[in-house]
Structure 1
Amino acid sequence: MKRIIVGVTGATGAPLAVRVLQFLREMEVEIHLIVSQWAKTTLQQECGMSYRDLCAMADVVHDPRNQGATVSSGSFQVEGMVIVPCSMKTLAAIRMGFAENLIARAADVMLKERRTLLMVTRETPLNSIHLENMLHLSNMGAVIFPPTPAFYNNPESISQILDHLAVRILDQFHLSHPAAKRWEGLGHKE
């Protein structure tokens, strides 16, 4: 069974975190969840969902203050980690190696072990500090994934936009969910 670490920070985007967790659950992936303090507030604000309900979607829930958790070590085998959403504060902490909490520490482990680290960065507009942090982490091997909606598939609801983004996130871990609607071209003969 594949294992994925899911970090959730307080940036806007909690509905996407929920959808990613739902899809991982349906795919029988072992989920190790880390939720920041501010993510709990955002989750309630954006989804009307409790922290307890979110935790029920994971196999293992780690306290973000527990630096001794399994996911804080490179010897713990996982496919990788997604931080969804990823605040600019968390992005900066990871870039600087400031592993003050378990989300930043687990991300640091992904970088040092050369495992997939996908950061669903949430901020707009971006300033030069944000862009430099993203470029630095991308050069280190992290995947920077702003949750930009696609319109070529003509979404009719926010739910369809969330599905598409969640599928694209899972693609980075070589996981294909049945909800995927793949680009099939424009139908022109070449």
Structure 2
Amino acid sequence: MKRFTVGLTGASGVIYGIVLIRELLAAGGEVHVIVSRAAEMVMEEERGLMPEETAAQALEALRSSCPRLFFYDNDNIAAPMASGSYINDAMVIMPCTMATLSALAHGSASSLMERAADVMLKENRLLVVVPRETPLNKIHIKNMLMLAEAGAQIVPAMPAFYHHPEGIQDMVHFMVGKVMDILQLPHQLFRRYDQPK
């Protein structure tokens, strides 16, 4: 069974992370989730983007229905993924704030999410970061370059339109599908360019 860590930060688009968690579980993965305090606030703000009233309710529904889903407080620096001896297949921060991205690019490890990501880089394991910000300034772009040079995969939340999305869900599915592709996990989240309409 593959093991994944998912970080949810306070960037807009927490629905990306929720759908990713669902897909990782559907693929048979064991999923360990770190939620920042800012992400909890965004969950409350972004009501109505999913069948559940809030993203927090969606997470709670997943938690109560799946024994392969685990949650960690972002202040719990003693959690397993803070250690290099903890083995997991990949870590995805989706969505990722520019503050978190900056911390990762500069080697900061002041929270569990930052430390877990730092461990992924130092152990040469797959770290996928999905920044959700626009426009970008030079500092943002330099930080993304630094993080990419350190070994992270940078996947900006830039959905495509060739598959003719009918709403927010289709655009979310496209981005989550791109991450699933990087993780080399099968999915049916979007129509590929060479597939018939």
Please tell me the TM-score bracket, short chain as reference. over 0.9
Q: Match of 2:56? A: 51
- Post-superposition shift, 1:143? 0.8
Q: Match of 2:161? A: 151
Which region of structure 1 is more displaced relative to structure 2, 151-160 or 105-114?
151-160
Which region of structure 1 is more displaced relative to structure 2, 63-72 or 42-51?
42-51
- Post-superposition shift, 1:107? 0.4
Q: Match of 1:183? A: 193
Residues 50 and 120 of structure 1: is their aligned pair in 2 closer, same or farther, counting only changes over 3 Å?
Answer: closer
Q: Does 1:126 align with 2:136?
A: yes
CA RMSD of aligned residues (A): 1.8
Distance 1:168 1:57 in 2: 22
Number of positions where the alignment pairs a residue of Structure 1 with one of Structure 2? 187
Q: Match of 1:136? A: 146
| Deviation readout 1:92-118 (Å, 9 max, x if unpaired) | 111111111001000000100111111
Distance 1:15 1:179 in 2: 14
Distance 2:115 2:62 in 1: 22
SS in 1 for 2:194: coil
Distance 1:56 1:117 in 2: 27
Matches within 5 A, 1:1-190: 1-47=1-47, 48-49=53-54, 51=56, 53-57=58-62, 59-184=69-194
SS in 1 for 2:33: strand
Residues 55 and 68 of structure 1: is their aligned pair in 2 closer, same or farther, counting only changes over 3 Å?
Answer: farther
Unaligned stretches of 5+ in structure 1?
none
- Post-superposition shift, 1:185? 7.2
Distance 1:79 1:119 in 2: 15
Distance 1:80 1:146 in 2: 17
- Post-superposition shift, 1:56? 4.7
Runs of 4+ in 1 over 4 A off after TM superposition: none
Preserved CA contact (<8 Å) 1:55 1:61: no
Preserved CA contact (<8 Å) 1:6 1:81: yes
- Identity %, equivalent residues: 41
Distance 1:117 1:55 in 2: 25
